Amino acid sequence: MGSLYTALASFLDARHRLGTWQLRIDDIDPPRAVAGSVERILTGLKAHGLLWDDEVIYQSQSTDAFEHALTQLGQSGRLFRCRCTRADLKTTGSCGQACVNQQHADDVPHSLRVSVDRSLLTDSEDRFLGPQGITAEALPQDFIVRRRDGLFAYQLAAAVDDAQPNFTHIVRGRDLLDSTHRQRYLHSVLGLTSPQYAHVGLLCGADGNKLSKQNGAPEVILGQAADNLRQCLIQLRQTPPPASARNPDAILEHAISNWAPPLHRTQYP
Ligand SMILES: [Zn+2]
């Protein structure tokens, strides 16, 4: 339900503004991929009438662009090899052993980190949450762009893909707000234009945890698509569709015309 809720907010925001709505599958972490999960996402969206424009975009097809970005980061002089294990890191997740000064050899197991120069980044305005200051937790002194296992880090891949010229607006969950500062920082180093970001508060269960599969939330029942959409619209504080709207298409038509961004809330009951 948490994923449906965020997808719905993103869909309504795009459709209300007569924009296109693109679907990207972030599939650059094969060890964590669950068989059949992409099909379940596509089936779930379709069942709720959340139809995307154009072809589905698979992040795994952008690896050349990620490699190019790493080369550029290297040329900027901000990339360094870090051999820290999890136990060595600072509480912010940044390198704990000053690897930046040590020029570790390439054959030592290492991740690649980018060092942060705060002066390159200004505070940002989130379309839903308002002005966002930057804390040390959100933007530590360095962060990983290529993992120790050789895979591209989420921050790098998302930054490069989100800055494609045809993506103007990103709507996503509040849990990614800290990542946004890191991705905006990468944009500034790479000379890319950041899209406009908007974060919606998280849909939480009675225990206060985000409603997601990782937290054991039950899967949405596809046969109850109209009810699911109505529930999400209530949580997004939208005008309820009339009772005569009985199927997903009718509910969405009403919701698109009446979309009012959920402003300045970080968490919903
Ligand atoms: Zn280190």
Question: How far is ligand 1, taken at its centre, from the CA of residue 103, in Å?
Answer: 11
User: CB neighbours of 117 closer than 8 A, spacing ≥ 6?
Assistant: 78
Question: How far is ligand 1, taken at its centre, from the CA of residue 71, in Å?
Answer: 20
| Residue range 90-126, pLDDT digits in tens | 988 999 999 999 988 989 999 999 999 988 888 888 9
Output the pLDDT for position 82.
97
Question: How far is ligand 1, taken at its centre, from the CA of residue 82, in Å?
Answer: 4
Question: How far is ligand 1, taken at its centre, from the CA of residue 116, in Å?
Answer: 14
Q: Which domains does the chain have, with CATH numbers?
A: 2-268 (3.40.50.620)
Question: How far is ligand 1, taken at its centre, from the CA of residue 32, in Å?
Answer: 24
| Residue range 111-168, pLDDT digits in tens | 999 999 988 888 888 999 988 888 877 888 999 999 999 999 999 999 999 999 889 9
Question: How far is ligand 1, taken at its centre, from the CA of residue 187, in Å?
Answer: 23
% of the chain beyond a pLDDT of 90: 71
Q: Which of 212, 214, 84, 62 is nearest to 144 (CA)?
A: 84
Q: Which of 239, 234, 269, 235 is nearest to 254 (CA)?
A: 239
Evaluate if residue 269 carries a pLDDT over 50: no
How remote is the C-alpha of 77 from its chain's centroid?
Answer: 27
Burial class (CB in 10 A: 0-12, 13-18, 19+), 206: exposed
- Distance between CA atoms of 218 and 32, rounded to whole angstroms? 20
Quick one: angle between helices 154-162 and 63-75, nearest 10? 100
The answer, as to whether pTM is greater than 0.85, is yes
- Distance between CA atoms of 209 and 205, rounded to whole angstroms? 6
Question: How far is ligand 1, taken at its centre, from the CA of residue 69, in Å?
Answer: 21
Question: How far is ligand 1, taken at its centre, from the CA of residue 181, in Å?
Answer: 21
Give me the amino acid identity at 255.
A
Q: Contact 173/199 with Cβ under 8 angstroms?
A: yes
Q: Which residues surround ligand 1, an ion (CB under 5 A)?
A: 82, 84, 95, 97, 99
